Structure formats: C-alpha cells, structure tokens
Amino acid sequence: MDTVRKSIFDYTDYRRYLREYYAWAKSHERGFSHRAFMAKTGMSGPNYFKRVMEGVHNLTDNSIPKFASALGLTESEANYFKYLVYFNQAETLEEKDRFFGILMDLKTPHSHYQLEKAQYEYYQDWFNIAIREMLAFLPYKDNAAEMGKRLAPPVPPKKVKKAIELLEGLGLIEKGEDGAYRAASKFILTDPDVQSLFVPKFHQTMTRMAGEAITRFTKDERYFSSSTVSMSERTYKDIIELIRATRKEVLRKVGEDQEPERVYHLNMQLFPLTAGAARKKRKA
C-alpha cells in the first residue's frame, strides 16, 4: 500500500477516489472506519459513506463540502472534488461536457492532464478521426488546404493543421524519413472513467453526420437500409452478437485493403422505439 495518498486531481471518478482513500486510511490511520469518517463530516448515518462509495447514494450540495473537509482537502482540491461529483452525477451529455471542461481548467497541469485534454479534443471534432484515416492514402506534408478540401464537408486549413498537431501529440501519427506524416499503429486508450462522455459524444456527432450524408452524397456513394421490427430481449442480444461479428469481419476486410482511396464511417444502429418492461430502479 502506498504511503502517500494519490492526488484528487488524478481522478475522474469521485467514487473510485473515495474507495481508494478508504483503503489507504484503513492502513494508515488507527481506528479509521465508516463510522469514524462520518463523525468527521458531522453527518448522521454510519453507512452513508459506504453507500456513496458503492453508488447506492449520491452526494448533495449539502454533503459535498462536509466530505471534502473530512477528506482533508485544500480549498483548490475541494473545489475540484465538487465539480468531480457534479461530472459523475450529471444526467445528460450536455451537463457532463460542461463539468468536464471545468475539471480540465481546474487540474494541475502535468502529463496525465495533457493526455486527458488531448483525448477530449480528439473526440470533439469528427474530422480528427477522418484526417488520421486519410493519411493512409494522402500523407500530410504542408498540404492542409488539399486535405481540408477532400473532407466532406470541407474543413479550413487552420483546423487541419491543428488536428495534425493533436494527432502527433497523442502518438497516433508519425513523421517518416520523407518528412510526411502517416498514421501510426498506436490506438488511443481512453480512461474508462471518462469514456461515458467521450464515446457517446462521438456517436452523437457521427449519427448527425449520417443524417446529413443522405442529402450530401448520391445513392451510389452511400448505403442506407433500415427495418423496424418487434423482438424479444433474447433475440435482441443475439442480434447484437451478430452485429459485433459483422463489424469484426468488416475490420478484417478493411485491414487487407492495400489501396484505400476514401474515408468512410460505418454506423451500426439497433435501438428500441417502444418502452420496455417496467423494472425496479435503484434509488440514487
């Protein structure tokens, strides 16, 4: 067990921070317990701390500063902890996006912070991903204007250059001996704690792009097909597995293509249009 507690600024999940704080305190503070911690907060309910860590209960505007005080956080750390709670407990993507931006502004600059910020920016704009794929057939070497025009819709050269800088910073592209940038074999590894923001936002953007593609491209340039059906939950799960298997086969086929000419985005969508059976919801 570490003798020094990790900084609150290293976390993007306050419940994980509380669990690791609890494990640390049990090893380093005599007599530490859920009850002892709650006594520090001045709140009643010895099991409240445990239930918050497990996700059964949420923290409130009233309990957040009391927890911050019991955790021994400084003013700046307590402020970060507050917005970390808001981020984790946000119910909409818009709220999560706003609070994550605040967290990035409050973090102490260091390498991990820079990586998180870069990953956030990577998923912010669709063309970052498209430009990386475009490098397979159009390497970058001071040809931002050309690359920008090839994108659909077109992107200004300034944004192309910024995207190249971002991709290089993430190690997703590399400069060859000829001075041109091409895609590297590295894949982006996103912190699991913030995937709940990055991945849904990316899918949201690409779903919007898919809608625009209906009128942006001719029928022979894009493929749209849909079916509205009724099914059981068991069949739904079976179809999800079929989609996953198909996606793997698509990626295998693409991996064998030695002469790419264009960047495409494949959306596989299956979602309910009617309400499901009523289920008991855990109180938060």
Structure confidence at residue 234 (pLDDT): 93
Structure tokens at 17: 């921070």
**71 or 107, greater pLDDT:** 71
Structure tokens at 62: 């009233």
Residues 53-66: pLDDT tens digits? Answer: 999 999 999 999 99
Q: d(Cα 138, Cα 121) in Å, to the nearest integer?
A: 23
The yes-or-no verdict on residue 114 having pLDDT over 80 is no
DSSP state of 171: T
pLDDT band with cut points at 50, 70 and 90 for residue 52: very high
Structure confidence at residue 162 (pLDDT): 95
Structure confidence at residue 104 (pLDDT): 84
**DSSP string over 46-113:** TTHHHHHHTTSS---TTHHHHHHHHTT--HHHHHHHHHHHHHHH--SHHHHHHHHHHHHHHSPPSHHH
Structure confidence at residue 197 (pLDDT): 72
Residues 196-251: pLDDT tens digits? Answer: 677 787 888 888 888 888 888 988 898 888 888 899 999 999 999 999 999 999 98
Structure confidence at residue 255 (pLDDT): 87
DSSP, collapsed to helix, strand or coil, labels residue 283 as coil
* Highest mean pLDDT out of 90-94, 143-147, 186-190: 143-147
Structure confidence at residue 284 (pLDDT): 40
Q: d(Cα 127, Cα 113) in Å, to the nearest integer?
A: 23
Q: d(Cα 173, Cα 181) in Å, to the nearest integer?
A: 6
Structure confidence at residue 43 (pLDDT): 93
Structure confidence at residue 282 (pLDDT): 43
| φ/ψ of residue 175, rounded to 5 | -90, 130
Structure confidence at residue 283 (pLDDT): 43
Q: Please check whether residue 181 is in contact with residue 139, taking contact to mean a CB–CB distance below 8 angstroms.
A: yes
Structure confidence at residue 54 (pLDDT): 93
| Cα–chain center distance at 264 | 22
Structure confidence at residue 235 (pLDDT): 94
Structure confidence at residue 189 (pLDDT): 59
Say what the alpha-carbon torsion angle 100, 106, 112, 116 is, to the nearest 10 degrees.
20
Structure confidence at residue 61 (pLDDT): 96
Residues 71-89: pLDDT tens digits? Answer: 999 999 999 999 999 999 9
Residues 153-166: pLDDT tens digits? Answer: 999 999 999 999 99
